[in-house]
Amino acid sequence: MCSQALLHSARTQLETFHDDYDNLQLMREMENALASPKPQRNIANALLISTRPKQWIKNLLVFAAPIAAGSITNTKLIGPAIIAFFAFTLVASGIYLLNDVIDVERDKSHPKKSTRPIAAGQVPIPLAMVVAIVSAVIGLTISFTLANTDLGIVVMIYLLINIAYSNFLKHEPVIDILIVALGFLLRAIAGGVADHVPLSNWFVIVAAFSSLFIVVGKRYSETQLLGEDASTHRTSLGKYPIEFLNYARTLSSGVAITAYCLWAFEKGASAPKGALWIESSILFFVAAILRYALLVDQGHGGAPEDILLSDRLLQVIGAIWMIVLIIGIYLSR
């Protein structure tokens, strides 16, 4: 009994040592990031970086509805979807600039965000605001004039909720997650309304809960990275227990997978020729969800766009999923 007690005590001390070591390493990484010199950029390049080109990949969601409906090759329908892509790119770029202006002081204390051009003082705040307004106005204008009123309304809703998010909603726990997820969902809806493609209930549910899964993973990674300093960067981050974020990830991924299965079986039942392909895509959709979940647990979920652009296995899974799905959809036409 005595030896077992000593062994248990030694294991406890070893685990504590490992935890302290990991925390010390994280603190050193954060200190090095803050102490390292900020990269020098000219204003034009700094402005471009502030619009976050990597995040433009999110706007590809506008093509989801046309692909699911099998109308992506219809030149009359794809035009409005392309307009929707550029409209969201312009409006989202304006929002990113606005958000960086509002968060400039907080970003200066963040290990990664301190290198953003506005936080680093490389883009004057008045210039950032002017570019943000012009970009948003152009995005709205092309939505209403080059596409249709429905797309313009969707883009306007996206703009208004993100202005509210940047100013105060991002500090409200749960609400901030829902608003960011809604941004993804509105992109998916925009492709449908721009092309007048009917959106099935299952499509909307899959888009909504997949978006929620990604956003919760982002919050999980941010909370893990910032630790006790999370609330100083953003009030809502300090109010998320890890247990809650894990529950939310499980819930959102479970609903997304279930809804995708129901959508695939419904789609397959109405189109027997491509049913096997469409239903087989379930496997690759689930694989993509699981791969992303693993990457988040490994600490890579703070920037979803970086995962999509850098993880080769996730890219391969995603490509196979899209190929299998598209074959099934187009065999069903």
Q: HSE (CB half, 13 Å, CA atoms) of 160? A: 6
Average pLDDT over every residue of 55-68 = 87
CA–CA dist 60, 81 (Å, integer): 9
Give me the pLDDT at residue 67, please.
81
3 within domain boundaries: no
Range of the domain at 312: 200-333
| DSSP character at residue 239 | G
If 0-12 CB within 10 Å is exposed, 13-18 middle and 19+ buried, where does residue 37 land?
exposed
Q: Are residues 221 and 102 in the same domain?
A: no
307 within domain boundaries: yes
Radius of gyration of the chain measured on its C-alpha atoms: 22
- Output the pTM of the full model: 0.78
Average pLDDT over every residue of 34-47 = 66
Assigned token pair, 314: 């996730």
**Residue at a domain's end among 142, 165, 199:** 199
What is the band of 231 on the pLDDT scale with cuts at 50, 70, 90? low
Q: Are residues 96 and 49 in the same domain?
A: yes
Q: Are residues 92 and 161 in the same domain?
A: yes
Residue with the larger pLDDT of the pair 226 and 45: 45
Residue 256 has pLDDT above 70, yes or no: yes
| Least trusted range by pLDDT, from 6-20, 142-156, 173-187, 189-203 | 6-20
**Residue at a domain's end among 153, 184, 199:** 199
Residue 327 has pLDDT above 80, yes or no: yes
Q: Are residues 153 and 206 in the same domain?
A: no
Q: 333 CB contacts (<8 Å, ≥6 apart)?
A: 70, 271
Q: Are residues 177 and 55 in the same domain?
A: yes
Three-state secondary-structure class, residue 200: coil
What is the band of 270 on the pLDDT scale with cuts at 50, 70, 90? confident
Q: Mind listing the pLDDT tens digit for each residue in 159-191?
A: 999 999 988 888 888 899 999 999 999 999 998
CA–CA dist 83, 31 (Å, integer): 43
34 within domain boundaries: no
Residue with the larger pLDDT of the pair 103 and 130: 130
Residue 32 has pLDDT above 60, yes or no: no
Q: What is the CATH number of the domain that holds 160?
A: 1.10.357.140
Average pLDDT over every residue of 37-66 = 82
What is the band of 21 on the pLDDT scale with cuts at 50, 70, 90? very low
Q: Where are the alpha helices (DSSP H) in the chain?
A: 2-35, 43-50, 64-69, 75-102, 104-107, 125-142, 149-167, 175-195, 201-226, 230-233, 242-270, 275-297, 304-310, 312-331
Domain count, the chain: 2
Q: Mind listing the pLDDT tens digit for each residue in 88-117?
A: 999 999 999 998 888 887 777 766 777 788
Q: Are residues 181 and 205 in the same domain?
A: no
Assigned token pair, 285: 């959709």
CA–CA dist 190, 179 (Å, integer): 16
Q: Are residues 73 and 162 in the same domain?
A: yes
Q: Are residues 180 and 212 in the same domain?
A: no
| Least trusted range by pLDDT, from 223-232, 268-277, 302-311 | 223-232
Q: Are residues 188 and 251 in the same domain?
A: no
Q: Are residues 80 and 189 in the same domain?
A: yes
Give me the pLDDT at residue 211, please.
93
Q: Are residues 52 and 135 in the same domain?
A: yes
